Amino acid sequence: MDTSHSLPADPLPAPQPLHDPSAADISRIADTLMRDAVAAAHGTVPPLPAEAPMAPPPVASPLPVHAPAAIPAVPFSAAAPFVPAALPVAMPTTAPAFSSPLAVSPSVASPATDYSGLKAFVGRIRGLDHLDLPRVFDGGTQPLAHPSAATAAPTISTTSAFFDIDAVRRDFPILQEKVHGKPLAWFDNAATTQKPQAVIDAISHFYAHDNSNIHRGAHTLAARATDAYEASRTTVANFLGANGSDEIVFVRGCTEGINLVANILAPGLSRGDEILLTELEHHANIVPWQMVADRTGAVLRVAPIDDRGDVILEAYAKLLSPLTKVVSISHASNSLGTIVPVELMTGMAKARGARVLVDGAQSVSHFPVDVRRIGCDFYVFSGHKVFGPTGIGAVFMAKEAQESLPPWQGGGNMIQDVTFAQTTYSDPPAKFEAGTPNIADAIGMGAALDYVSRLGRERIAAYEHELLHYATGRLTAIDGLRLIGTAREKVGVLSFVLPGIDPIEVGTALDKEGFAVRAGHHCAQPSLRHFGVEATVRPSLAFYNTHAEIDRLADAISAIARVK
């Protein structure tokens, strides 16, 4: 195994090396997890912490991109559930001194329901067997040892000081595929992420054992399907730090989520009101607002970015005014990787009385998110960008923002009473979920968020930070390669161009070597045009990528550059 890029030993106990569990082992683990979950819902034992804390070694780098060098250790308390800390974002010292509410919300308690319909599904989440499953223990943590590995010595992969990357990769069946006879290296994570076996199993189990429509059913399968669907809603609420599951609305994805918010806010807009975006936005966070502006007479304003790809905060501050009714901004750019200081920008907007939407499509899979700390009214993301299925996403809709907002679509499931004279709507979130929802994929998304939480978003952020610095160094060393976007804070997006070579041509050549990268405008034409380009090649990272894959990628790009 390649050890040339090994990091110092993890200061925390490493995950236990696990063997294939027997059916009896899986049954015992399922029984334990389900018993604890039900007990936690009734408040009889401390609930499982959502994620393992860590303090990774600082990673020094002279490269022009930057993400937090150290993720602070977050202590567990036996008296309260663990709430992940927000990933710190370095801000320019000249930034305006606005802030948003900083109170961290407690985790949302699961509803006291009969979880028997979920038992087999939990038992089948075998993709988590090798991960830390910390339990509250004397005010600290202790791993939940696997029955078949109780006496095994802790080990860690030589490719990561943060978690066992080899074991994690084995959770993703598609990573064993070959393309054109070469091992698949998936570097298209900003477009979609791959799915762990836990997610595949959760969806399969639902269709094999619990398939039914939800709500109002008088039979067992309807109750089990409803429990599983609503449990996923609670999982999303916990994942985002919401106050309750009634603040979570399921949608088809981030695009539909933004359209939902745009359409329910539109009736409150008048001619001359302003909607403020940034130059970084994905088309899905531009076009819906253009449509609303055309319909209402509102005006779109755009905060510019600088030549690194950072939002110019002074310009943003000047654009805010009493006319600003809506601010809609990305948490992280899909084309450049820029991490946007959304907490600061939300505080500035709220001080002007604006409502704030944050597009979290490129953030939730990379670092912890706490919507209450951010202070936004709406936060949207897609399941398929966070290792879940396509066709499902969620909108966090703050309780205080729900008041007086009309529904967007009409139909079943979102009503209390209907006559030909009038309709009485359900309370949120049902009010915003007309028709039969995507039940199976909502359950699959819940399984994906559970997987990410068990792995630990602090660990993920630290590992991907190190990968990004390494990849940036390898790519910028290639003669002629121009990296597009060198913001101070970035997720693992590396857009680049090679002189005289069409990005599509580069992407096609890389595909022949087994690399999946995106080539084109990435549905973010304004941000690329700021840099004078119409398209780029865009490798993008996730926690299952490795240094060895980055080396292969850099060597392949170098070969393409030399041939041309």
* Calpha distance 85→52 (Å, rounded): 11
Closest to 253 measured CA to CA, from 385, 408, 358: 385
Residue reference for tokens 């992280």: 332
Taken in order 76, 80, 84, 89, the sign of the CA dihedral is: negative
Catalytic residue positions? 523
340's CB contacts (< 8 A; 6+ apart) are 278, 280, 311, 329, 330, 331, 332, 333
Taking the C-alpha atoms of 379, 384, 389 and 390 in order, what is their torsion angle to the nearest 10 degrees? 90
Distance CA 506, CA 170 (A): 29
DSSP sequence for 116-146 = GGGHHHHHT-GGGTTS--EEEETTEEEE---
CA-wise closest residue to 454 among 15, 155, 6, 138? 15
Phi, psi of 551 (to 5 degrees): -60, -45
Pairing of strands 378-382, 393-397: antiparallel
Compute the Cα dihedral for 222, 225, 229, 230 and give only its sign: positive
List C-alpha distances in Å: 311 to 47, 148, 308: 40, 51, 9
Dihedral of CA 175/176/179/182: which sign?
A: positive
Cis peptide before 539 (omega within 30 of 0): no
**Residue 223 — φ and ψ, nearest 5°?**
-65, -40
- Tokens representing 1? 């195994």
Give CA–CA dist 525/73, Å, rounded: 39
* DSSP-based three-state secondary structure for 473: helix
Give the whole-angstrom CA distance, residue 187 versus residue 493. Answer: 9
Tokens of 445: 């998304």
Cα separation, 187 vs 179, whole angstroms: 13
Is the CB of residue 187 less than 8 Å from the CB of residue 496?
Answer: no
